[in-house]
């Protein structure tokens, strides 16, 4: 059943070449070796690891792709993979991560339904569904989180972690980045190696002074919150804008800076549609969560 559902969500490459099953298997194995965290691969039962690798390979490709609507095709497979990951203690940290990502797939599907496909000439290749404008995505995410209760863990951690942000001269409201990243689940780990409530990658964590061994401090709430706040402060110092800082938190400073240079702008909205699909939705998601939880608008938060 899992294999059938997975196959239904994977289709031809954007360049028109057919994605055959052998291609998929070989590509999945190579991508997994290059990108998936070793702990993740070791945690998967041998009989199922290849299929799950295929799913995460395709998810990563689309997250880094150009069009948010392309994520919608993964909804069914994600719902199938999630209980599989939840069934084992070893893979539950990856289930915690995937559970949060499903919101992106749901919103992508809403966008797919709400934006009519572009018209194309007869026998012409299909035209991709354009990305919604940045203001439109903000509206969608505000509706998405409007009636959502606090994550259960947030009631414990938000009061404890806000002082970590203010100590770094960062608005305390940005603690809610942890809801967008992990729903405040300290166990969360992505297949690519990001970990903890704030989903810090190993190199970023080490650069911010966190220890990864013998105890990985990314899984410790207070050190990881301090590191996240430090990183957001550095990014705001670089870009002078919280939306751009959040985009860089998700996609990397280099990606954001290159787009700003290319478009000769300092505005997030001017580059939003060119960012990776995940980032295009991460920023308005955080923004909507802060508005819902704190009644605060992102652009009105104080600079560090």
DSSP 231-251: HHHHHHHHHSSHHHHHHHHHH
| CB proximity list for 70: less than 8 A, separation 6 or greater | 62, 108, 128, 277
Q: Is 82 exposed, middle or buried (0-12, 13-18, 19+ CB in 10 A)?
A: middle
Q: Is 24 exposed, middle or buried (0-12, 13-18, 19+ CB in 10 A)?
A: middle
Intra-chain end-to-end CA distance of the chain, in Å? 51
d(CA 46, CA 115): 41
Domains of the chain: 2-11+21-114 (no CATH), 150-300 (1.10.530.10)
d(CA 169, CA 172): 9
Ranges of residues in the chain whose predicted pLDDT is under 50 = 1-32, 46-47
* Percent of the chain with pLDDT strictly greater than 90: 73
Phi, psi of 274 (to 5 degrees): -100, -5
Dig out the tokens for 219 from the structure. Answer: 């899984």
Question: Annotated active-site positions, please?
Answer: 181
SS (H, E, C) 14-74: CCCCCCCHHHHHHHHHHHHHHHCCHHHHHHCCCCCHHHHHHHHHHHHHHHCCCCHHHHHHH
For residue 195, give the 3-state DSSP assignment: strand
Its pTM stands at: 0.84
Dig out the tokens for 69 from the structure. Answer: 């609507």
For residue 164, give the 3-state DSSP assignment: helix
């Amino acid at each position: 059943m899992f294999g059938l559902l997975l196959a239904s969500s994977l289709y031809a490459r954007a360049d028109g070449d057919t994605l055959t099953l052998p291609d998929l298997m070989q590509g999945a194995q190579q991508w997994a070796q290059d990108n998936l965290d070793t702990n993740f691969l070791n945690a998967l039962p041998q009989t199922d690891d290849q299929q799950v690798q295929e799913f995460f390979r395709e998810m990563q490709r689309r997250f880094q792709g150009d069009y948010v609507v392309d994520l919608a095709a993964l909804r069914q497979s994600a719902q199938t993979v999630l209980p599989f990951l939840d069934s084992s203690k070893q893979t539950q940290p990856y289930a915690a991560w995937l559970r949060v990502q499903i919101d992106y797939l749901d919103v992508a599907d809403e966008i797919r339904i709400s934006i009519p496909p572009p018209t194309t000439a007869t026998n012409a290749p299909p035209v991709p569904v354009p990305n919604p404008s940045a203001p439109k995505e903000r509206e969608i995410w505000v509706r998405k989180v409007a009636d959502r209760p606090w994550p259960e863990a947030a009631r414990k951690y938000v009061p404890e972690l806000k002082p970590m942000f203010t100590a770094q001269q960062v608005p305390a409201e940005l603690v809610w980045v942890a809801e967008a990243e992990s729903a405040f689940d300290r166990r969360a780990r992505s297949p690519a190696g990001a970990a903890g409530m704030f989903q810090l990658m190993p190199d970023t964590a080490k650069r911010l002074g966190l220890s990864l061994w013998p105890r990985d401090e990314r899984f410790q709430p207070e050190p990881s919150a301090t590191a996240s706040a430090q990183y957001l402060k550095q990014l705001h110092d670089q870009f002078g804008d919280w939306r751009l800082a959040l985009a860089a938190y998700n996609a990397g400073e280099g990606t954001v800076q290159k787009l700003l240079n290319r478009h000769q702008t300092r505005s997030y909205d001017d580059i939003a549609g060119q960012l990776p699909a995940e980032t295009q939705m991460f920023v308005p998601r955080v923004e909507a969560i802060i508005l819902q939880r704190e009644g605060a608008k992102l652009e009105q938060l104080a600079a560090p």
